[in-house]
Chains A and B, each alone.
Chain A
Amino acid sequence: MSSTARVPVAHTEPGASPGRFVCARRRASERRRIRRADALAANVPVRLYGVRRGTVILLTLCSVLFALFILAPLVWIMVNATKTQPNVYESFGFWFARPFVLFHNLSMLFENVSGAGIYVQWLGNTVLYAVLGGVGATVLSALAGYGFARYRFLGSKALFYFVLSALLVPITAVALPLYLVYAKVGLINSMWGMVLPCMVSPVGVYLMRTFIDASVPQELIDAARIDGAGELGTFLRVAVPIMVPGLVTVLLLSVVAVWNNYFLPLIIFTHNSAYPLTVGLASLSQGAETGSKGQLVPVLIAGGLVTVIPIIVLFVFLQRYFRGGLLQGSTTG
């Protein structure tokens, strides 16, 4: 694996390169110009393929259809979060219907579910787990990635293979074993039972190692050492500033992974005050469908909407980092 792991990140998509990160605040017009120049440099002009105009229209139409397929459920959830329960079933699914009760549904969601504002608690739990788990995963991955990329100590190769082997262990095969261990050591319903396993991200280590190999020059580290910097000082003051784009990528991927995780919290939490949003929503949906709580369906839909929005916002604003991370996983496979 070691030789493929060293494929440089240099041939990335234009616009995702670490260099571009520095100029994030460039003016929009200039960015557009650069993008156009990049596109010209990277691509053979379309007309050279001899593609007919009809083909372009047909392919664009295919993309439109698939985009509708992708967007329809999201439109549905936005529209139906504003409806009353009968309207969710009776009215046309992709358009609004009177009365418009979005704010009523939201206030029901935040105040009245189970009578004790438990959705707010779930939201808080999710943010807490995602932030702690994501930051922890990023810090540990950065340290370990740096250790594997820039040091050759006894057994470093074997240990790296050990980490890679962890990539092959399916998460569903670990969740139940974790529960069994937690039951022995009293970590059921503990926040740490959720956060600590989320900090273990073999993918993060692999991404960080690849990133450091490609973008933190050994010479720079040597220079810092000559100047008398300690090992940790070299890491913090020389390597980390260069690693920022990679760190953001790993942070985002880990935060999303924790935010969307369902199986692990489902197994290790038995009190609903410890639930994250995903497990909470699943328990709500059981209640909504069996009808034990009247009028709960639109509240549930609003709950789904509130769960999705933070991550979509995060993703739309920071999508270059998502792409960067996906890329490194792929070209170096």
Chain B
Amino acid sequence: MSPNEIAIPRLQRSGGFRTWVPSGPAPARRRRDRREGNGRWFVLPFLVLLTLFMFVPVCYAIYTSLFTSKLIGGTSFSGLANYGQVFASSEFWSGVRRVLLFAAIQVPLTIGIAAFFAAIFDLGVAKFGRFFRVVFFVPFAVPAVVAAMMWSFLLLPQFGPYTRLAGAVGLQRTDFFSPNLILPTLIVIVIWEWAGYNMTILYTALKSVPREVVEAAVIDGASFWKVVMRVKLPMVSPAIVMLFFLNTIGALQLFTEPSILSSFQPQAISFGFTPTLFVYNTSIGSLEYNLGAAAAVVLGLVIGALSVGSLLWRRRRGEFA
């Protein structure tokens, strides 16, 4: 073989051939390239770890959930008995109801606040927008553990600064951790943590709306609020839908905040206050790993079903190819 015969096929294989010959093969030819197979070596390390540390454990948890361990008699196959126990547990379902209620209030509130500030900073109708955007995003850098700790001191019965403030405006003896107020308290904490993050995402999405669209609306005489409500926000609805989805998944997994609050206010947080706490307390707390695994699988399925459902819904509405 002469050197030429080697060189030319290499040019073709590389897909760069058409830079030399204008009437060369269409870009699609590239896909048949033998070099393309090398891509698998790039994705392999990630896929190995993904399998080992995500899919294997999940499968093992499903397997474990089908057995029952007893102090006397060891481990035996028990089919779906653990699932029956989870489904029959009123503690588990009260946790599920609680996080659903929590999500139903916290998610729209967070996104509403985020959208409000994103819109006014985007259109520049509030002063010092850059400064506020940085400030609002700061809680993203604060671990949930520290956030919950700070808030439990701020809301401490009797001594907390906010409790005193409530006392000063006439709400004596407010207990932010009483059964009636614990959910609103958690909602405030979670809004504190996540509103700025949501705002940042919406702000960047709003910035990508082309200037011409807004100009056209303004020339047609649309007022400021019309521009926001009818032009800007509808154009970023995919980002809003995605935030609903992410926030809901996060809310259903609520764990860190109630678990930290429980070390300050043990009476406020029950064994199965949220489904994740139920999983944690049954397995790590009470050492009933099989039951905990079953509860984890149920929780994963509920969240997974919600995710898939919302993806399908978005795809049907054509927001998502």
Contact = CB atoms under 8 A, between A and B. Distances in A.
Interface of A: 1-4, 11-14, 16, 39, 41-44, 46, 48-51, 55-56, 59-60, 62-63, 66-67, 69-74, 76-77, 80, 88-90, 92-94, 140-141, 143-144, 146-148, 150-154, 156, 159, 162-163, 166, 168-174, 176-181, 184, 196-197, 199-200, 202, 205, 218-219, 222-223, 225-226, 231, 235, 256, 259-260, 262-263, 266-267, 277-279, 281-282, 285-286, 289, 300-301, 304, 307-308, 311-312, 314-316, 319, 322-323, 326-327, 329-331, 333
B104 interface: no
B53 A308 contact: no
Nearest to B208: A11
A248 to B, nearest CB: 16
Given A59-B125, A147-B42, A312-B138, A200 B204 contact: no
B205 A143 contact: no
Contact of B16 (A63, A144, A173, A225): A225
B140 A63 contact: no
Nearest to B113: A66
Interface in B188-233: 192, 195-197, 200-205, 207-208, 210-211, 214-215, 218, 223-224, 227
A223 B16 contact: yes
Interface in B11-67: 11, 14-16, 19, 30-31, 35-43, 45-47, 49-50, 52-58, 60-61, 64
Contacts of B121: 63
B112 interface: no
Contacts of A1: 320-321
B105 interface: no
A72 B29 CA distance: 60
B39 A49 contact: no
A176 B293 contact: yes
Q: Which 4 residue pairs spanning A and B have beta carbons closest together?
A: A151-B39, A147-B42, A93-B161, A173-B300
Nearest to B224: A49
Contacts of A262: 143-145, 255-256
Nearest to B299: A173
A49 to B, nearest CB: 4
**Contact residue range for chain B?**
35 or more
B153 interface: yes
Contacts of B139: 70
A308 B43 CA distance: 34
B149 A153 contact: no
Chain A contact residues: helix, strand, loop or mixed: helix
Given A44-B218, A59-B126, A267 B263 contact: no
B93 to A, nearest CB: 17
Nearest to B122: A43
Interface stretch (B73-81, B175-183, B235-243): B235-243
B321 A4 contact: yes
B58 A169 contact: yes
Contacts of B238: 333
B296 A173 contact: yes
The majority secondary structure among interface residues of chain B is: helix
A308 to B, nearest CB: 5
B242 A172 contact: no
Contact of A49 (B61, B125, B263): B125
Contacts of A184: 60
Contacts of A266: 280
Contacts of A278: 143-146
A178 B46 contact: no
B125 A307 contact: no
A143 B38 CA distance: 12
Given A70-B135, A172-B279, A225-B14, A153 B154 contact: no
A12 B259 CA distance: 39
B224 A51 contact: yes
A168 B311 CA distance: 10
B264 interface: yes
A67 B135 contact: yes
A301 B153 contact: yes
Given A66-B117, A330-B242, A304 B150 contact: yes
B308 A168 contact: yes
A176 B283 contact: yes
